[in-house]
Structure 1
Amino acid sequence: MRRLRLLRPWEWIGYLAAVIVFAIACVYLSQWQFDRREQAVEQIDKVQTNWSAETTDIDSLVPQIDAFDDALEYRSVTLTGVYEQQRQVLVRNRPLNGSPGFEVLVPLRLDDGRVFFVDRGWVASASDGGTPDVPDAPTGEVTVVVRLKPAQPAVDRGAPEGQIASFELTQLVADGEAEATFTGAYGQRQSETPAAAENPQVIPQPSLSEGSHLSYALQWLAFAVLAFVGFGYAIRATLRRIEDTGGSEIEAQRRRRVGRSRADADTEVEDAILDRTH
C-alpha cells in the first residue's frame, strides 16, 4: 500500500490519458498514410494499364465532348486535323523535374469540324521571367497521337494575356463553337506526323513510385506502441526508486527507534540512582 500511495495514482492516470490520446493520434496518422498509399497504388495501376493499352479513336473513349471518365486517363487516341496556331495559349505554373515552366495548349480542328485541345508539351520559363519562346505547331493537316487527360476546374488566379492558370477548357471555347469543342478532356502529345522541326518537350510518364507512405504508416504505429512501452517503463522505474528509498527510510526509522530506546533506558537508570541517594 505504501508503494501505491507514493505512486500518486491520479497523477499517473493523467499520464496514461495523455499516452492514450497520443496513441490515437498516431493511429489516425498511420491510417491517413495507408490511405494515401492506396491512392498512389491505384494511380500506378491506372498508369501502367492505360499507358500500354492499344491506341484507338477519340469517339470510342470520349463519346461526349463535355464529359470524361477519369478511369481512361492516359489512354492514347489518334487525331487528324489542323492546328489553329493563332489560338495557342500557355498554361502557367507547370514545373517539370523541379524546373519552372509552361505547357503549350493548341486547338486542333479535326476533319469533322470539331475542336480538340492538344497539350503539345512543356517549355521552360524565360530566364528574365517573361514569356518563353515556343516552337510553332506544324502547319497543314497533321496526325497526332495524344494521351487523354481530364480537364481541370477553374482556379481563382489571374494570368497575363495569352496564358491561363489551369486546364479549364470552357474559357477557351470560341463563340458559336460550344457544341463542337471538347471541354471534358484534352490530350498530351506523344507524336506528330509530319513532325515539326522543333517541338516542346513531351510530358513524360508519371512516376510509378508509391512514395514513402507505407514506411511512414508503420512509423506512426511504432510511435503508438512505444508510447505505452515508455509509460510502462516509467512506472517500473518509479516503483524501483520507491523501493530503494523505502528501504533506506525503514532503516533510518529503526535506528531512530533504537536510539530513543537507549536514551529512555539511560534516563530510567539515572532516575533510579537519584532515588537511592535521596
Structure 2
Amino acid sequence: MLTPGWLISLIFIGLFVYLCLTTLAPWQLNKHEDLKARNAQLVESSAAGPVPLDEVIRRDGSLGTSEWHLVTASGRYLPVEDVLLRMQSVDGELVYQVLSAFRTDSGDTLLVNRGWVRVGDNNTVPDFPSAPTGQVTFTARLRIPMDAPADPIVLNEWNMVRNIDPPAIGGLLGVDLSPYYLQLAGGQPGSLEPMPLPSTESGPYLSYGLQWMAFGVLAPIGLGYFVWSELRQRRRLDDEDNEAAEAWPREGGNRAAGPDHETTASEAPSGPPAATVDGPPDEVADSDRLVAAAMRDRYGDRFASEYRRISRGGNRA
C-alpha cells in the first residue's frame, strides 16, 4: 500500500491541509476582520461630526482607531512643489492624486491629499489649481499611510510616488512630515476632485476563508476515500486470485485422462488438440499469480485483471 505514489500523495495532502488551516484561511479571515473594522470606522465617522485635528492626534492610544474620522485643521499650505501619487484610478480611469504639504497652527507639518486630476496623453500632467496661500481652515478625513515604499521617480518634471510614505516624501520636499495625512473633502480650500470613499460592503474575504477551511477538511476525507477504494479493489483482486487457484486442480483433473479412459465419439475433439501448460497445476497457478502480481505492479490493476482473464480462458480451451 505504501508505494512511492501513495507516499507522495500523503505528503502533498498533509502540506495542503497545513497551508489551508494555518495560512490561507487565516489570511482571508484576517482581511475580513480588517475590512469589517474599516467599515465600522467609516460608518462611525459619517455619523459623528468633525473634531479638531489636535484633539484627535493627542488622544491616548493608536491613531489607527481614529482613521477616517472627520477633523478640522487650520494653518497654511507650504510654498513647496506638489508630489503626485501615480498609478491610481477612479471609476476605472487613470488619475494622479495631488499631495501638498501643510503646516498647522500648532506647528505640525503633514501631507494633504487634495484630490485627483486625470492622466493626460503619454502620462502627461494636466494643469490644475495650486494650493491657496494664506491662512485656511478646512475639513478632511484623517488617514494612516499603508506600510509600503514610496518608490519615488521623476516623470515629466514632476516628483511622483507609488505609495504615500510621509518620511520618503518629506525627503523629496525637504521637510519633516507627520506619520499621518489628511484627505480633503469636496468644497474645501485647495480641494480638487475629491477622492471617493471606499464601499462599506463586506467583500468576499469571509467566504474565501470558509472555502479554504472546507478544503482543509475535505482533502483528508478525499484521501481516505481513495485509500478505502484501493483496499477494496485489492481485496477483490485477491479473491479472484484465490478463486483462480482453486479452479486449477479441477480444470487440470478434467483434462488429464488416464490410460484406461476411453474417449467416446461425443468426447472426441473435433479440432486440433488444445494447448496445455506444462508443469503441475499448483506450480502453474503459482506462476500465474506471480505474473499477475508483476503486471499489476507495473501496469496497474486493469492490466493484471485482463491478464488473468486471458490466462484462465486459454487454459480452459
Q: Which category describes the TM-score, using the shorter chain as reference length?
A: 0.7 to 0.9
Identify the match of residue 180 of structure 2 among 162, 173, 185: 185
Point out the more displaced range, 149-158 or 93-102.
Answer: 149-158
8 A contact 1:143–1:192 mirrored in 2:
no
Query: Normalising by structure 1, what TM-score?
Result: 0.73
- State the alpha-carbon separation in 2 of the partners of residues 124 and 85 from structure 1: 23
Is 1:42 equivalent to 2:45 in the alignment? no
Is 1:125 equivalent to 2:122 in the alignment? no
- State the alpha-carbon separation in 1 of the partners of residues 140 and 226 from structure 2: 63
Greater relative CO (CA pairs within 8 A, separation 6+):
1
Query: Normalising by structure 2, what TM-score?
Result: 0.65
Q: Which amino acid aligns with 2:198?
A: P
Aligned CA-pair RMSD: 3.3
8 A contact 1:85–1:136 mirrored in 2:
no
Q: Which residue of 1 aligns with 2:97?
A: 103
- State the alpha-carbon separation in 2 of the partners of residues 143 and 41 from structure 1: 32
- State the alpha-carbon separation in 2 of the partners of residues 255 and 111 from structure 1: 103
Q: Which residue of 2 aligns with 1:233?
A: 225
Secondary structure in 2 matching 1:235: helix
Identify the match of residue 192 of structure 2 among 178, 200, 221: 200
Encode CA deviations 1:243-274: one digit per residue, 9 max, x unaligned.
Answer: 4434443333333211223455x33646xxxx
Q: Which amino acid aligns with 2:159?
A: Q
Q: Which amino acid aligns with 2:136?
A: V
Is 1:164 equivalent to 2:160 in the alignment? yes
CA positional deviation for 1:112: 6.4
CA positional deviation for 1:99: 2.6
8 A contact 1:85–1:106 mirrored in 2:
no
8 A contact 2:32–2:206 mirrored in 1:
yes
CA positional deviation for 1:140: 5.1
8 A contact 1:145–1:192 mirrored in 2:
no
Identify the match of residue 144 of structure 2 among 141, 150, 155: 150
User: Structure 1 pair 213/167, CA: closer, same or farther in 2 (3 Å)?
Assistant: closer
CA positional deviation for 1:117: 3.5
Which consecutive residues of structure 1, in runs of 5 or more, have no partner in the other structure? 1-7, 271-278
8 A contact 2:108–2:178 mirrored in 1:
no
Identify the match of residue 50 of structure 2 among 35, 39, 55: 55
CA positional deviation for 1:79: 2.5
User: Structure 1 pair 248/41, CA: closer, same or farther in 2 (3 Å)?
Assistant: same
- State the alpha-carbon separation in 1 of the partners of residues 237 and 127 from structure 2: 81
Which consecutive residues of structure 2, in runs of 5 or more, have no partner in the other structure? 262-317
Q: Which residue of 2 aligns with 1:252?
A: 244
Q: Which residue of 2 aligns with 1:222?
A: 214
Equivalent residue pairs, number? 252
Q: Which residue of 1 aligns with 2:283?
A: none
Encode CA deviations 1:40-59: one digit per residue, 9 max, x unaligned.
Answer: 22222233223433211122
CA positional deviation for 1:126: 0.9
User: Structure 1 pair 185/235, CA: closer, same or farther in 2 (3 Å)?
Assistant: closer
